[in-house]
Amino acid sequence: MSQPAEKTEDGRIRCDACPVMCYIKPGAAGACDRYANHDGILVRVDPHVVLDRTLQQGGSVVPFNRGGGDWDGKLVRGPETFVTAIGAGTTYPDYKPAPFIVSAEVDGVDMVTVVTEGIFSYCGVKVKVDTDRHLGPERSLVRAQGEPVGHVTTGEYGSQMLSLGGVHHLTGGSKKEGRVTCDTLLELSNGRAVELTIDDGATVIVQAGRPPIVNGGMEERMRVGCGSATIGMFAKQWHGKVDEVVVVDDHITGVLSEHQAGKLLGIPDTGIHMKGRRSTPGRYFQVAQPGTGWGGTDISDPLSILGPFNPKAARPGLTMLMVSTTGEHFAYYVLDDELKPVQRELPAALQQSIARIEENCEPALCTVLFTGGAGGSLRSGVTENPVRLTRSVKQALTYVTCGGAPVYVWPGGGITFMVDVTRVPENAFGYVPTPALVAPIEFTLRLSDYEALEGHMDHVRPLSSLGVDMARRQVPGHRDNPWPFAPEGAKRSHG
């Protein structure tokens, strides 16, 4: 995309793609590295990305270079091509129509897709880190390069959750905090690795679609369940092979003989005495402090969570297995004549149960969801009456995508959406040094509905009008993504 620009006597041109309003020297790029001065013309450095449905099941990326190559300037047939906002440009100062408002006929219905690269000061990422290891207390600051960029939020089943970015870190702190926050969000959103440190906690390397690295060690698996759930799942496999099983867990430690699963199997009382707070039979809270040891606790010796065995129920020779919720840690004990557990080699009969726990643990993974608020002025690039776009999205008349990827739109006011960054084409996100992230967003709807919401009808143009005067990159649609023109017929593929 190119456009005339305000020019100074020394040949610099003024870029109006964002609030920074750079003056760019001939042959140079602006502060965002996204716009440049090419012979006095403001050009978008990166090619504009379009998705090709016919390449979804494989095929290489087809580059289209400005004014060259073998391409004849024609796009593939309309319904099989989706124009994304990646490389499209912005609407700043936001009263301008979106850079591309493209029409296509799909199954006999006239459709329109409005694309723009939104400038998001109100944005962040939600990071799901699959690990039982304690990363840090809730509400602890998460830092990058020593600067606060987010915080630890409430954990989920087998995963630690981080909330990074947001307008307060981008604009409400020091200039360095805003810059580092912006850099961190950009790296994570574009699928690159970032090292984070957590106050009173761990150092973790996070990268979307990759296992987390916690304190230098790569995580391999999630937990199979909490300690109580693990007892319930595998009680039958332990029955008759061991007298007692303790599944060590930071949250809910399970004890086989006391658990309802053990009771129904007729497992007798073993006289075991657990430290911590008893919840319901066979379920204990707070047996230890959170940490990076057994089952997400701070212990390295599992016997430290046990008190003396009750001689009224315990007996010499009683056997006990202690295991973590991932199977990573385990130990086998036999009570001696003084009813003290003595570690022994794990019997072959119990090795299969440990392997089964490991088998049922899913691979550890980092998930990064870009979250942005599109309820602001970028809507003016779609319609002269912005609230109608919001209502159209909430009424499911308008389908929202991010680089062609499906998004989750939050209920309530505005258009706040989340997208899995691994389902967006590579390098889809940019930045401007205000600081803010630049993210692609597309709105697809019937042409008649677009006219009804007072869209910029005089700027609608067909796919065939996108000619050879633009740098363009055609890529296959993501295999797991619904086709934006037919989202209701989507089926996730696995493989």
Distance separating alpha carbons of residues 416 and 410, to the nearest angstrom: 6
Instruction: Tell which wins on pLDDT, 495 or 240.
Output: 240
Answer yes or no: is 391 within a domain: no
Q: How far apart are CA 136 and CA 206, in angstroms?
A: 15
pTM value?
0.87
Q: How confident is the model at residue 6 (pLDDT cuts 50, 70, 90)?
A: low
Instruction: Note whether residue 20 is domain-resident.
Output: no
**What's the pLDDT at 60?**
40
DSSP classification of residue 97: P
Q: What is the pLDDT of residue 69?
A: 36
Residue 59: the pLDDT is: 40
- Residue 302 within any structural domain of the chain: yes
| Per-residue model confidence as pLDDT tens digits over 190-229 | 999 999 999 999 999 999 999 999 999 999 999 999 999 9
Determine, yes or no, domain membership for 262.
Answer: yes
pLDDT value, residue 9 = 67
For residue 267, give its domain range: 227-359
What pLDDT is stored for residue 393 in this prediction? 95
Element (H, E) at 278: strand 277-278
**pLDDT tops 80 at residue 378:** yes
Burial class (CB in 10 A: 0-12, 13-18, 19+), 341: buried
Q: State the pLDDT at residue 492.
A: 42
pLDDT at 465 over 80: no
Tell me the CA end-to-end span of the chain in Å, nearest whole number: 37
Report the pLDDT value the prediction gives residue 64, as an integer from 0 to 100: 34
In whole angstroms, give the CA distance from residue 296 to residue 30.
47
Are 273 and 307 spatial neighbours (Cβ–Cβ below 8 Å)?
yes
332 domain-assigned: yes
Query: From CA 147, how far away is CA 165, in angstroms rounded?
Result: 11
Q: Report the percent of the chain where pLDDT is more than 70.
A: 91
Instruction: Examine residue 404 and state whether it is found in any structural domain, yes or no.
Output: no
Of 197, 148, 178, the closest CA to residue 431 belongs to: 178
Question: Total domain count for the chain?
Answer: 1
Question: Is 483 part of any domain?
Answer: no
Q: Containing H/E element for 151?
A: strand 147-156
Kindly report, residue by residue over 289-335, the tens digit of the pLDDT. 999 899 999 999 999 999 999 999 999 999 999 999 999 999 999 99
Whether omega for the bond prior to residue 302 falls within 30 degrees of 0, making it cis, is: no
